[in-house]
Copies of this chain bind each other. A is one copy, B any other.
Amino acid sequence: MGTVSLNTPPTGMPHVPEPDLHQVLTPEGHRRPDHDLDPWLEDVTATMLAGLHRDMTVIRRLDTECTHLQRQGELALWPPLLGQEASQVGSAAALQREDYVFPSYRENGVAYLRGVDPLGLVRLWRGSTYAGWNPAETNLAAQQIIIGAQSLHAVGYAMGLRRDHSEAAAISYFGDGATSQGDVNEAMVFAASYHVPVVFFCQNNHWAISEPVTLQAKRHIADRPWGFGIPAMRVDGNDVLAVLAATRRALERARNGGGPTFIEAVTYRMGPHTTADDPTRYRSKDEVEAWRAKDPIDRVEAHLAATLTGSDRDARGGALTIEAVREASAAAADEMAAALRTGLAGLVDPGPEALFEHVYAEPHHELARQREHYRLYLAQFDGEQLEAGTR
């Protein structure tokens, strides 16, 4: 079926100005004024930019390392976030400790910034556990694989925040494809209805596995929330400052009783959907190359290179030059990678007891029986054993 262009709205369609793509840092690293976002960037210093550069660099390394580890058979699978570093770092940098994050499977960069040990990610993606981190410690919910489901969890959490008169906010991450799911739309209905402090953070990376965003949405994704009564903003997702500012603004609205906000971060998945995917089957090299020119790290570097005055100082009082920034970021990435590799050697696969643990919070006699039978079964062999338990 061919499709008719929806660019010219048919009669009866209210003529709504398309939300601008908010951009603060151009791909060339120029700072552009943005009426809506500038107020949220007044505290930006070179040091802060250097910090964002470092975080993006570390996360890119984490991503690359894990992609390698998968190729080496250490991980079962990895969903690369290459290209989306600005979206993840910019948004996560805006969050407070008490804010609560509901991620999908691709927010491994966000997870890192929430304090998750990269080894936790490794354990998760090698299939040792579903719990790559402890949500109670990180205020980061378990990763969500069911597309869109977490958007409702964030809204429910935010309902609780509102009841508790908390100043925290909830944020839900999901992709462009997820916007087609009923759950994401219901999440907007509930969020608007209860006017709760939640941020919907959609990384429109242009693809849902092999499906282009145009199959999911005939208008910009950021056009949709308005009809639910939710303000939305479309930002350059490869611009870490724009993302930071938009997220700060949304969080501030949430904290001040302003209700939900939707952010569409327009970015691009540079890698495959997961290490099991072959993107050459569905998209052109040219498209990928065009996006490479909009690299989120490069533009921060370009910006810093052009603006560092020589008098800027890093946190330790050293001279903040572009070389120093690059070096510091690379060093941080090396450090993370080294720790990761070291830790890897010490990882132990879980034993069979983990099978039966935490299925129920309270005693369950039938499951205890199955566990006991399996213990007896395993006891016949030499290998793995299951301890005799009270239940």
A-side interface residues toward B, CB under 8 Å? 1, 3-4, 6, 9-19, 36, 159, 162-163, 179-183, 185-186, 189, 192-196, 215-219, 223-233, 249, 253, 257-259, 261
Cβ of A37 to closest chain B Cβ, rounded Å: 10
- Please state if A13 and B186 are interface contacts (CB–CB under 8 Å): no
A-B pairs with beta carbons under 8 Å apart, 18 shown: A1-B194, A4-B195, A4-B259, A9-B231, A10-B253, A12-B231, A14-B232, A15-B17, A16-B226, A179-B189, A180-B189, A181-B186, A182-B182, A195-B218, A217-B228, A218-B228, A225-B227, A227-B227
Enumerate chain B residues within 8 angstroms of A230, measured Cβ to Cβ: 13
- Please state if B219 and A229 are interface contacts (CB–CB under 8 Å): yes
Q: With contacts A10-B258, A12-B261, A258-B4 known, is A193 near B215, CB below 8 A?
A: yes
- Please state if A6 and B192 are interface contacts (CB–CB under 8 Å): yes
Within 8 Å by CB of A183, from B14, B159, B182, B224, lies B182
- Please state if B224 and A227 are interface contacts (CB–CB under 8 Å): yes
- Please state if B217 and A6 are interface contacts (CB–CB under 8 Å): no
Enumerate chain B residues within 8 angstroms of A195, measured Cβ to Cβ: 1, 3-4, 6, 218
Enumerate chain B residues within 8 angstroms of A226, measured Cβ to Cβ: 9, 13-14, 16, 219, 223, 227
> How far does the alpha carbon of A212 sit from the alpha carbon of B15 in the complex, in Å?
28
Enumerate chain B residues within 8 angstroms of A183, measured Cβ to Cβ: 182
Q: Which residue of B lies closest to A224 (CB)?
A: B227
Q: Which residue of B lies closest to A194 (CB)?
A: B1
- Please state if B16 and A163 are interface contacts (CB–CB under 8 Å): no
Within 8 Å by CB of A193, from B181, B182, B216, lies B216
- Please state if B231 and A1 are interface contacts (CB–CB under 8 Å): no
Q: Which residue of B lies closest to A225 (CB)?
A: B227
- Please state if A10 and B231 are interface contacts (CB–CB under 8 Å): yes
> How far does the alpha carbon of A225 sit from the alpha carbon of B9 in the complex, in Å?
12
Cβ of A310 to closest chain B Cβ, rounded Å: 38
Q: With contacts A162-B1, A195-B3 known, is A216 near B233, CB below 8 A?
A: no
Beyond contacts A1-B163, A14-B223, A189-B216: 6 other A-B pairs, Cβ-Cβ < 8 A, are: A6-B192, A12-B233, A13-B231, A193-B215, A217-B228, A224-B227
